Amino acid sequence: MESSIAKALTLKYEPVAIMLTNERPEEARQFKEGKFGCVMSMLAAAVRGNTAVFDRRTFGCPGGGTGLGFGNQYLNFAGGVEGFCYFLSVGNEQWEPGMRVVEQIKPFVGEDVYDDLVHGERYLKTPELVKKFVECLPIIDLPFEYVVFKPLREVNPEQERPEVVVFLTDMDQLSALVVLASYDRDDNESVIIPQAAGCQSIGIYPFREARQERPRAVAGLVDISARVQIKRQLKDDLMTFAVPFVMFQEMEANVPGSFLERNTWKELMRLRAQG
């Protein structure tokens, strides 16, 4: 499946289709069961042309399992949901039961992870606010065995239907996608940018939008930890733009005749090429 949007935006990275399926693709990358991994590293692999697959035993981390739609995996975090609430905020050093769990798992985690478990990532101010954050997430348990990341060009539209299409973009390209998302709509809020983990912004948030009568796109990679993963692998300053497939088809149809064929966009691309 080719993308007119990708061509018009001169994307550096291949759009990625997120597929929900009960059939495991052959020769797909997959985390080992019980081993830590970041979902965003698999997104980076997919934009390079690889296929990646996840299931309920190989999603890499509790946040990734939750973000991919495998239920509330924070229940399985070290110390449970409460342990996660301290981890994302002030750290388990301020919660004695959590600190006991952290010391038990210390031999099995890296120094950076241990430091974050003890002192907290500090992405929200208090454990109570993290609890509210989790309660606000559109957590779902998908009725599918696998979530697959696949280069869009490898999708056969006659046999497959993505749930979501994800673009990795720079700021100029993100601006164009935001404009295109509202190009033929009678409102100007066709894109949301929630505070969420990187995987949640390409997973459960656009999954929720895909089930709405009027779906919106989801801009992401405001997650600092996810940005570190992407920066390590792709070296660029990027954002994600996740589009439910129905909305993707609408946006594709609107490329001809739009601002993407006009002088201002061409001038921006000329200036961008100059560096």
pLDDT at 204: 98
CA distances, 142 to each of 41, 136, 208 (Å)? 22, 18, 11
pLDDT tens-digit map of 184-210: 999 999 999 999 999 999 999 999 999
Residue 34 within a domain: yes
Q: Is residue 275 pLDDT above 90, yes or no?
A: no
Instruction: Judge if 195 and 257 occupy the same domain.
Output: yes
Instruction: Judge if 239 and 170 occupy the same domain.
Output: yes
Number of structural domains in the chain: 2
Instruction: Judge if 228 and 199 occupy the same domain.
Output: yes
Instruction: Judge if 110 and 76 occupy the same domain.
Output: yes
What is the sign, positive or negative, of the torsion defined by CA atoms of 38, 40, 46, 51? positive
pLDDT tens-digit map of 200-254: 999 999 999 999 999 999 999 999 999 999 999 999 999 999 999 999 999 999 9
Instruction: Judge if 173 and 39 occupy the same domain.
Output: yes
Residue 65 within a domain: no
Q: What share of the chain is helix, strand, coil (3-state, %, to 5)?
A: 45, 15, 40
- For the record, the structure tokens of 1 come out as 């499946």
Q: Which residues constitute the domain of residue 172?
A: 4-59+142-264
pLDDT tens-digit map of 23-50: 999 999 999 998 899 999 999 999 999 9
CA distances, 109 to each of 6, 113, 119, 238 (Å)? 39, 6, 15, 28
Of 103, 136, 169, the last residue of a domain is 136
> Average pLDDT of the chain?
96
Instruction: Judge if 148 and 227 occupy the same domain.
Output: yes
Residue 29 within a domain: yes
Q: How confident is the model at residue 273 (pLDDT cuts 50, 70, 90)?
A: confident
pTM of the model: 0.95
Neighbours of 108 (CB within 10 A): 10
pLDDT tens-digit map of 252-269: 999 999 999 999 999 999
CA distances, 31 to each of 45, 204, 272 (Å)? 12, 20, 37
